């Protein structure tokens, strides 16, 4: 076990601290609310000489991710952070990072996308990047932010994986609230993340290689993509393995999903991020009232933990999926689409309904979550029928 100390801190500070402990060679970033304090704190740490990182201020997120890509291709351990429009502006580069198999670590402080302008939490930013080939982890609390950030390094850098990892934390809710966090000692983290052994680094000038060359018309593009798919599929086992080792070190359990009160549950809510806390609280209340309520929190969204979701949900009488992002024009939000698709091959049909909630930071009140459980209980009891996606609590 690592030596640990308990501190009161914010999600963003925790990212900066985890970055310091993982000792990236390069951090390139551009400020955007609510990510800003991550990079500011990290800049201070660099200036104090507490980490030896080349810290690059750039003029846009497109440049930030481009600089990260250049550095990672050169063989560096690279980290950055962004949110919302920043992530959207990186879109082009996200695919380069994953396609070139560069294990860049990025904290994304989930924030709504324009228009209209909004700076508060939802998941529409990361959901726009869900097919970009990045491994995507979500955190409920600042503690999980810390743990995910550290685990991201050996996950992404595993030679079987070599993929960029995005660690998501909910804007303001997790980024700016003070939370209780256990931090591990530096030596334990250093040993846990290990040294990065880049493959085919550009700076290995004795063995020159070029990156990013043309692979069209008869070239190996298609096969490249296949290996990329194999890599992200294979990352699932690596994430579990790293999670297990991390649990031993920290004493905190980690799973691709976290199930709560699911042993005898009949109705369950599936959720990502900080809202899991609200759901857990309401589920306990519902249990006191005789509703067999449970909760499935997805910690790893990419790769999507299909088997784990199936085994958690296959006996449910009704499942409600909470989506903090809409997939406009689709049948429901992204988490709903994945979840229902995962359950499709089951013999028995599990009713799954979808609720879009909390867009642009709109309040996720406990009474709203209660209506979801009540709705699910009615569906389970047959007194209500399955319905299409609903905007939870929208006026």
Ligand X SMILES: Cc1ncc(C[n+]2csc(CCOP(=O)(O)OP(=O)(O)O)c2C)c(N)n1
Residues near other proteins (CB under 8 A) = 30-33, 36, 39-40, 43-44, 46-48, 57, 59-60, 85, 89, 114, 117
What ranges make up the beta strands (E) of the chain?
4-10, 26-29, 54-57, 78-82, 105-110, 135-138, 165-170, 178-184, 257-260, 267-272, 293-298, 300-302, 318-323, 352-356, 390-391
Q: How far is the CB of 50 from ligand X (least distance, A)?
A: 26
Residue 117 partner contact from ligand X, other proteins, none using kind-dependent CB cut-offs of 5 to 8 Å: other proteins
Binding of ligand X by 86 (CB under 6 A): yes
* Short-list 285, 389, 288, 265, CA closest to 339: 389
Binding of ligand X by 37 (CB under 6 A): no
Give the relative orientation of helices 186-193 and 221-250 as an angle to the nearest 10 degrees. 150
User: Which of residues 60 and 341 has its CB atom nearest to other proteins in the complex?
Assistant: 60
Q: How far is the CB of 183 from other proteins (least distance, A)?
A: 22
Q: How far is the CB of 55 from other proteins (least distance, A)?
A: 9
Query: Residues 61, 93, 179, 326: which binds ligand X (CB under 6 A)?
Result: 61
Binding of ligand X by 32 (CB under 6 A): yes
Taking every pair of C-alpha atoms in the chain, what is the biggest distance, in angstroms?
A: 72
User: Which of residues 88 and 201 has its CB atom nearest to ligand X in the complex?
Assistant: 88
User: Which of residues 42 and 355 has its CB atom nearest to other proteins in the complex?
Assistant: 42
Return the residues of window 318-357 that contact ligand X according to CB under 6 A.
none
* Short-list 321, 324, 395, CA closest to 357: 324
Residues 6+ apart with CB under 8 A from 342: 304, 306, 309, 310, 313
User: Which of residues 46 and 261 has its CB atom nearest to other proteins in the complex?
Assistant: 46
Q: Is there a contact between 258 and 271 (Cβ–Cβ < 8 Å)?
A: no
* Short-list 174, 109, 112, 176, CA closest to 144: 174
Q: How far is the CB of 298 from other proteins (least distance, A)?
A: 30
Binding of ligand X by 89 (CB under 6 A): yes
Residue 47 partner contact from ligand X, other proteins, none using kind-dependent CB cut-offs of 5 to 8 Å: other proteins
User: Which of residues 32 and 316 has its CB atom nearest to other proteins in the complex?
Assistant: 32
Q: Tokens 């909910």 correspond to what residue?
A: 170
Cα separation of 110 and 337, whole Å?
20
The two structure tokens encoding residue 207? 């063995």
Q: Tokens 């966090």 correspond to what residue?
A: 181
Residues 6+ apart with CB under 8 A from 300: 135, 136, 137, 138, 236, 239, 256, 257
User: Which of residues 40 and 266 has its CB atom nearest to other proteins in the complex?
Assistant: 40
DSSP state of 112: P
User: Which of residues 24 and 86 has its CB atom nearest to ligand X in the complex?
Assistant: 86
* Short-list 113, 171, 112, 161, CA closest to 138: 171
Residue 39 partner contact from ligand X, other proteins, none using kind-dependent CB cut-offs of 5 to 8 Å: other proteins
Binding of ligand X by 250 (CB under 6 A): no
Residue 305, burial from CB neighbour count under 10 angstroms (0-12, 13-18, 19+) = buried
Q: Which stretch binds ligand X (CB under 6 A): 26-34, 45-53, 91-99, 386-394?
A: 26-34
Q: How far is the CB of 106 from other proteins (least distance, A)?
A: 17
Q: What's the Cα-to-Cα distance from 129 to each of 5, 126, 149, 157, 255, rounded to whole Å?
A: 35, 5, 18, 20, 22
With CB under 6 A, what is the number of residues at the site for ligand X?
7
User: Which of residues 43 and 310 has its CB atom nearest to other proteins in the complex?
Assistant: 43
Q: How far is the CB of 16 from ligand X (least distance, A)?
A: 18
The two structure tokens encoding residue 333? 């939000």
User: Which of residues 62 and 252 has its CB atom nearest to ligand X in the complex?
Assistant: 62
Q: How far is the CB of 34 from ligand X (least distance, A)?
A: 10
Residues forming the site for ligand X (CB under 6 A): 30-32, 61, 85-86, 89
């Amino acid at each position: 076990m690592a030596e640990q100390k308990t501190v009161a801190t914010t999600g963003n500070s925790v990212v900066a601290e985890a970055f310091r402990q993982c000792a990236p060679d390069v951090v390139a970033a551009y400020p955007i609310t609510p990510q800003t304090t991550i990079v500011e704190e990290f800049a201070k740490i660099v200036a104090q000489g507490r980490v030896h990182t080349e810290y690059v201020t750039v003029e846009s997120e497109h440049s930030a991710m481009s600089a990260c890509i250049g550095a990672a291709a050169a063989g560096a351990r690279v980290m950055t952070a962004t949110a919302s429009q920043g992530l959207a502006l990186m879109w082009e580069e996200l695919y380069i990072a994953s396609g070139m198999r560069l294990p860049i670590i990025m904290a994304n402080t989930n924030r709504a996308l324009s228009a209209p302008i909004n700076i508060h939490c939802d998941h529409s930013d990361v959901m726009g990047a869900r097919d970009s080939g990045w491994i995507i982890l979500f955190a409920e609390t600042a503690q999980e932010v810390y743990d995910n950030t550290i685990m991201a390094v050996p996950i992404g850098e595993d030679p079987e994986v070599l993929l960029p990892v995005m660690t998501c934390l909910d804007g303001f809710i997790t980024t700016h609230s003070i939370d209780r966090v256990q931090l591990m000692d530096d030596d334990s983290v250093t040993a846990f993340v290990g040294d990065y052994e880049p493959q085919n680094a550009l700076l290995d000038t004795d063995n020159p290689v070029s990156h990013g060359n043309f692979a069209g018309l008869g070239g190996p593009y298609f096969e490249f993509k296949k290996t990329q798919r194999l890599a992200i599929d294979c990352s699932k086992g690596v994430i579990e393995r790293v999670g297990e080792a991390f649990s031993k070190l920290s004493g905190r359990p980690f799973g691709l999903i976290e199930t709560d009160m699911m042993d005898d549950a009949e109705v369950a809510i599936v959720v990502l991020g900080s809202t899991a806390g609200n759901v857990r609280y309401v589920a306990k209340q519902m249990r006191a009232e005789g509703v067999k309520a449970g909760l499935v929190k997805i910690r790893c969204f990419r790769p999507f933990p299909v088997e784990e979701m199936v085994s958690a949900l296959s006996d449910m009488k009704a499942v409600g999926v909470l989506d903090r992002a809409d997939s406009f024009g689709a049948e429901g939000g992204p988490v709903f689409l994945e979840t229902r698709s995962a359950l499709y091959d089951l013999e028995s049909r599990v009713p799954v309904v979808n609720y879009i909630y909390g867009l642009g930071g709109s309040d996720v009140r406990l009474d709203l979550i209660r209506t979801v459980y009540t709705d699910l209980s009615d569906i389970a009891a047959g007194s209500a029928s399955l319905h299409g996606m609903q905007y939870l609590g929208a006026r």
